[in-house]
Amino acid sequence: MIELSLAEIATAVGGRLVLSPAGGSQEDRISGESQTDSREVQQGQIFFARRGEEMDGHRFAAQAVDAGAALIVAERETDDRVPQILVADTTEALGALATEVVRRVRAAGVLKIVGITGSNGKTTTKNLVAAMAERVGPMVASAKSFNNEVGGPLTMLRVEEDTRTLVAEMGASAEGEIARLTAMAPPHIGVVLTVGLAHAGEFGGIETTFRTKSEMVRDLPAEAVAVLNRDDAYVTRMGDLTAARVVWFGRNPEADVRASDIDSDASGTRFTLHIAGDSLPVVFRVLGEHHVTNALAAAAVGHELGLSLADIVAALEGATRAARWRMEVLGGRDGVTIINDAYNASPDSMSAGLRTLAQIGKPEGRTVAVLGAMSELGEYSIEEHLRIGLQAVRLRISELVVVGVEARNLHISAINEGSWDGESVFFAEQDEAFDYLARTLQPNDTVLVKSSNAAGLRFLGDRLGEAFA
């Protein structure tokens, strides 16, 4: 974080500064990062004592001070060994400080802000854009999937005076949340990847999802850039909603940044990248043809950041996986390949994962889909689980292993399809599924493990990866 005095921080968050009896002044300066988890606090950092649904950060203020916190922002007085700033709402204070820090750095004229949203692919695209931004100069990018009202500001507060690019993943579970994040860090480049059924249960339907995702580009000024997916019908509609210059990406021949000659196998995807009349071949080692969309979005951002086509291709080819638990290739013993893609799952990403499995399976082995529940689909849940089960059959996946009661409709749909006879099995618990797979997987099998984060199948994927390492 840029260096600020205690008084400046108090003003930014609209709080009351309480100095420690041990001494100090309101002109004392702080430049450490901010944390909301006392276990993450390091020397000189700021601890925001948030009240969550299950935990109250005020209870852990002493641990934060023990770990080296130089300042506590809280809603009531806690540990007086360090200065405290008392506010009405700690989460709002976190956002307010992020807004002020970004405003100051942006005003210096060096910082470029890239905001990324979409129903699928945000983290992968963020990682690819970050790899390109590193070629421009010092950059800050969201850690893990920090993309909400807490993770977003924590990322923004890592910006310093020499930061050239802030790459901010911006997610939402309700209307208005992306707008709040873009108000904190107004993007110079706003990216929208897809509009799908992810979180449809929380949003209340696809049209609400569309309105929410379009918040990324609605308020962009004319001098900004909206990077939009030409292959997604809902995202295409956003071109009429923004005053910004639009850059289209996709496979569509009309896209400004597009891919052709796409060919996928177990080693990744090869395609030709076209930008501004030039083209180069790309060997993209991130598994799954659907990730070409994310690569194109990142390439469009890289071009807007001033990178040459050669540098863009080099950044793409340097990526070896989307992210932890996202199309992560494990295993290898006896030719068994485990693809752990169980960090998130929506109907779109589940469908894409199955298509990838069908494409890359070895002729001498089987394809095995180990699937768990897709969360947050609301009224669409039964229909979409049934549809995915049917798709597994129609793609001729060799075996479907369904794990967890919430995912049972996947199994029911598959066994109701007359062309299958015993190729779908169901287990209520992960341990049962692991024992079965460890016993029955055959040499050269290719296994996809896919579920929403809440279903926890990423841990089953890791176990299988270790068992067949």
Is 368 within 8 Å of 402 (Cβ atoms)?
Answer: no
Task: Report the distance separating Cα 349 and Cα 205, nearest Å.
Answer: 18
Task: Report the distance separating Cα 168 and Cα 105, nearest Å.
Answer: 15
Q: Which of 205, 277, 195, 287 is nearest to 233 (CA)?
A: 195
122 is in an annotated binding site: yes
145: which 2 tokens? 């999937």
Query: How are strands ordered across the β-sheet holding 165-169?
Result: 139-141, 165-169, 112-117, 189-192, 225-229, 245-250, 257-265, 268-275, 278-284
Cα separations in angstroms, 13 against 2, 6, 97, 182: 15, 11, 6, 18
Is 448 within 8 Å of 349 (Cβ atoms)?
Answer: no
120 is in an annotated binding site: yes
Is 434 within 8 Å of 326 (Cβ atoms)?
Answer: no
Q: Residue 218: which residues within 8 A CB-CB, separation 6 or more? A: 179, 241, 242
Please report which helix (H) or strand (E) contains residue 465, including its range: helix 457-467
Task: Report the distance separating Cα 65 and Cα 70, nearest Å.
Answer: 7
Is 282 within 8 Å of 257 (Cβ atoms)?
Answer: no
124 is in an annotated binding site: yes
119 is in an annotated binding site: yes
337 is in an annotated binding site: no
123 is in an annotated binding site: yes
465 is in an annotated binding site: no
Please report which helix (H) or strand (E) contains residue 330, including its range: strand 328-331
E strand segments, 155-311: 165-169, 189-192, 225-229, 245-250, 257-265, 268-275, 278-284
Is 119 within 8 Å of 195 (Cβ atoms)?
Answer: yes
Task: Report the distance separating Cα 289 and Cα 263, nearest Å.
Answer: 8
| Binding positions for ATP | 118-124
| Binding positions | 118-124
